[in-house]
Amino acid sequence: MKDIKDMPACPVATVWELIGNKWKVFIIRDLLAGTKRFGALKKATGASQKSLAANLREMEDDGIVERKVFSEVPPRVEYTLTDIGYSLGSVIEPMAQWGSAYKEYCYLKSKKEKKTNL
């Protein structure tokens, strides 16, 4: 968990520091649907094993993700968002909506430009 005195003064910078890379955002996106195993997260995100493991470790240290190890052979490890991690859904969902709207804007703009060039 981060120490409050080490966090940026700006709340937006705090969020960016916690989830400001594509792997963390994709991990959160996928875990919002529920608990996942490492392999499923790797496949869904497209992250390398090293990147995924490092990001999951950071997110666990930050209190966003919980890691549960089952004493089985072979070992099974599952990842779940914590309560504070699930609350990031209210950040990710508007990003998804904005991304969809922007894609629509780009599509309509390119369509309009094609008509103008005819």
DSSP annotation string for 61-75 = HTTSEEEEEE--SS-
Residue where the block lists tokens 């991304």: 99
In the chain, where the domains are located? 4-86
Give the pLDDT confidence score for residue 30 in this predicted structure: 96
Q: What gap in Å lies between CA 57 and CA 68, rounded to an integer?
A: 12
Per residue in 53-75, pLDDT (tens digit) is 999 999 999 999 999 999 989 88
Give the pLDDT confidence score for residue 35 in this predicted structure: 98
Residue ranges, the chain, pLDDT below 70: 117-118
Give the pLDDT confidence score for residue 118 in this predicted structure: 62
Q: What class does CATH assign to 4-86? A: mainly alpha
Give the pLDDT confidence score for residue 61 in this predicted structure: 95
